[in-house]
Amino acid sequence: MSADNMTLTLKIWRQRNATVKGSFETHTIKGVTSHMSFLEMLDVLNEQIIHAKGQPVAFEHDCREGICGTCSLVINGFPHGPQQYTTTCQLHMRHFKDGETITIEPWRSSAFPIVKDLVVNRDSFDRIIQAGGFVSINTGQAQDGNDIAIEKDQANHAMDAATCIGCGACVAACPNASAMLFTGAKVSHLAQLPQGQVEASQRALRMVEQHDAEGFGRCSNITACEAECPKGISVEHIARLNREYIAATVGSTK
Amino acid sequence: MNSWIARFLTSSIGKKVVMSLTGLFLISFLAVHLAGNLQLIGSLDGGQAFNEYAYFMTNNPLIKFTSYGLYAGILLHAIQGILLWRKNIAARGTVRYAVKNDRVASATKSSIYMGSLGTVILIFIIVHMVQFWAQMHFTSNVGDVTYAGAEYAVKDLYTLVKGAYTNIWFVIFYVVSMIFISFHLLHGFESAFQTLGLNHPKWSPLIKTIGRAYAVLVPLGFAIIPILMYIENQQS
């Protein structure tokens, strides 16, 4: 447990836009309490910068409850910070020590171009979803509950994959900048549900094709993604994606 | 080529399947290679068993056919591995992390260095093949011997190997190379199965245990050959 009046040195990546070169800017922040979240600490820093008539640091955040996948940041070399299974917004300053220097960088991947400072463009993930991360359902009369039978174990496994919030930490962590854990989680989630069967083979083929086209790296089973995933999604879902992909290649007519 | 085959082989998953299958083939080759080479140790017959084995391995049509597959497998694994390595460096982007801490979940840390480990191993394979394979096939540096009762002469590869291991630097080179192979296998063995989609609560722990034992024992088996032959040479 750290003191309630910490002074920290922050080395923050500043970059005006995607085309100019960025560099680190150093700030000292005083009066940080251990109860602040990491983003609240950055809010205080931005107040301080605004008072000094400077440009506040741009970073992404939305729900601040750890469920939306909007926040990012590589903190001291760890995506979402050193605490495992935690998003940056749920990371508290009690995990840092008074007087510590903290390095804050954006996700670095050629498929995630920098928008400004710590904000990156993650549209490539949206395009992977658009390529096949959906199910087609004929709407009409509401179905009875439990109409579509599914084994509890399988539903649990599908839910494990569905916990992916699409934050991109897997790409940030991967030495190859591969998005296979994201793609794997999405394919695995739907492949295990009855509703996902209609597009199952097309989904794996199309989503992998889009993944590759976006310029993400190629997975070599390092499992850094699983270690840094705030939801702890297992690489077992990448194995299922591989099975789906191989099966669709040899078994489907496409 | 059929478009679906091309699509598979150029996709990221198709490429890793190729890496996995060639890798497993090379892994199985290591066991065969080690079994043969262990005949080099403590040879009481002046290397007759080893030389006759080498003759069989270079003349049996089935083995010859498999050996072409092996050369192709090594080249495919190495060339595609280097291309993937370059691709992955590019995917990281032009600006690297100033601070990066690599944590891994279920794999070993050698997974991060497969490209570098593989490159060293490729250099080792080239030196190894120039030293023994090429000398035997393409030069007259290796003499013939005809053993009693044999109808044909065989190449005296044993003397060539024995001679090489009188040099302490070759011994060190071989032993150090085996350490690189060990680390490469430590990730490669289990990774090959994950790539094929074989990840299961029942088999995965088994694959990991066997893979890690294989990654230590097989290179260790290879490494003791030059060490023991060097000691034998010193004593004689």
Given its phi and psi angles, is residue B228 left (phi above 0), alpha (psi -120 to 50 degrees) or beta? Answer: alpha
> Is A183 inside any structural domain?
yes
Q: How many CB pairs under 8 A join A and B?
A: 143
CA distance A124 to A113: 10
- Indicate whether A157 belongs to any domain: yes
Are the C-beta atoms of residues B104 and B112 closer than 8 Å to each other? yes
Measured distance CA(A80)–CA(A61) in Å, rounded: 12
Q: How far is CA B49 from CA A71, B34, B53, B192, B235, in A?
A: 67, 15, 6, 35, 22
Element (DSSP H or E) covering residue A101? strand A101-105
Chain B contact set for A223 (CB, 8 A): 104-107, 111
Residues of A in contact with B197 (CB under 8 A): 239-240, 242-243, 246
The answer as to whether A117 is a domain residue is: no
Rounded Cα–Cα distance for residues A147 and A139 (Å): 15
Same domain, A138 and A220: yes
Q: How confident is the model at residue B9 (pLDDT cuts 50, 70, 90)?
A: very high
The C-alpha atoms of residue A154 and residue A142 are separated, in whole angstroms, by 24
- Sheet with A74-75, edge to edge strand ranges: A23-32, A6-14, A101-105, A74-75, A78-79
Q: What is the mean pLDDT of residues B119-134?
A: 96
Supply the pLDDT for residue B149.
85
- Considering the domain architecture, whether residues A146 and A80 belong to the same structural domain is answered as no
Domain boundaries, chain B: 15-90+107-235
Eight-class DSSP state of B133: I
> Residue B222 above 70 pLDDT?
yes
pLDDT score of B183: 98
Interchain pair A221, B88: CB under 8 A: no
Tell me if A242 and B17 make a contact (CB, 8 A cut-off): yes
What is the DSSP secondary-structure string of A53-96? T-PPPP---S-SSS-S-----EETTEET-SSTT--GGG-BGGGS
Q: What is the ipTM of this complex?
A: 0.92
pLDDT of B17 over the 90 cut: yes
Residue A153's contacts (CB-CB under 8 Å, 6 or more residues apart) are none
The 10s digit of each residue's pLDDT in B200-219 is 999 999 999 999 999 999 99
**pLDDT value at position A139?**
82
Give B46-77 pLDDT, tens digit per residue.
899 999 999 999 999 999 999 999 999 999 99
Examine residue A189 and state whether it is found in any structural domain, yes or no: yes
Mean pLDDT, rounded, of chain A:
95
Where residue A24 sits, what CATH number does that domain have?
3.10.20.30
Residue A223 to chain B, least CA–CA distance (Å) = 5
Checking if the pLDDT of A163 tops 80, the result is yes
Nearest CA to A218 out of B103, B17, B21 is that of B17
Residue B189 has which token pair?
A: 């063995």
CATH number at A237 reads 1.10.1060.10
Q: Which residues of A touch B199 (CB under 8 A)?
A: 235-236, 239-240
Beta pairing partners, A27: A10
| Any domain includes A26 | yes
Say what the pLDDT of residue B1 is.
55
Query: Residue B13 and residue B8: Cα distance in Å, rounded?
Result: 7
- Show the domain range for A56: 6-105
Q: Least CB-CB distance to A235: which of B103, B106, B114?
A: B106
Q: What is the pLDDT of residues A36-62, one digit of tens each?
A: 999 999 999 999 999 999 999 999 999
How many Å apart are CA A226 and CA A138, to the nearest integer? 35
Shared domain check, A245 and A130? yes
**Contact assessment for residue A230 and residue A66, using Cβ atoms and an 8 Å cutoff:** yes
Roughly what angle, to the nearest 10 degrees, separates helices B12-37 and A200-213? 90
DSSP β-ladder status, A74-75 and A23-32: unpaired
B138-160 b/e (C-beta count within 10 Å ≥ 16 → b): eeeebeebeeeeeeeebbbbbeb
Q: Are residues A202 and A141 in the same domain?
A: yes
Residue A83 and residue A151 share a domain? no
DSSP H or E stretch at residue B144: strand B144-145
Could you give the dihedral angle defined by the CA atoms of residues A158, A162, A168 and A169, in that order, rounded to the nearest 10 degrees?
Answer: -70
Work out the minimum CA distance from A244 to partner chain B, whole angstroms: 9
**A238: pLDDT confidence band, cut at 50, 70 and 90?**
very high
Can you tell me the mean pLDDT for B218-236? Answer: 94
Does B91 contact A at CB distance below 8 Å?
Answer: yes
pLDDT, tens only, B147-179: 988 888 999 999 999 999 999 999 999 999 999
Q: Are A167 and A59 in contact (CB under 8 A)?
A: no
Mean pLDDT confidence for B1-24: 93
Sequence-separated (6 or more) residues with CB below 8 Å from residue B27 = B185, B188, B189, B192, B214
Between CA A223 and CA A220 the distance in angstroms is 8
Instruction: Say if residue A201 is in the same domain as residue A155.
Output: yes
∠B97-B98-B99 over CA atoms, to 5°?
A: 90
Does A60 share its domain with A133?
no
Quick one: A91 and A199 in the same domain?
Answer: no
* Number of compact structural domains in chain A: 2
Q: How confident is the model at residue B118 (pLDDT cuts 50, 70, 90)?
A: very high
State whether CATH 1.10.20.10 applies to domain B15-90+107-235: no
On chain B, the residues whose CB falls within 8 A of the CB of A222 are 104, 107, 111-112
**Same domain assignment for residues A135 and A40:** no
What is the phi/psi pair of residue A101, to 5°? -100, 125
Contact assessment for residue A200 and residue A187, using Cβ atoms and an 8 Å cutoff: no
> Tokens standing for B185?
């296998």
Whether pLDDT at B119 is above 80: yes
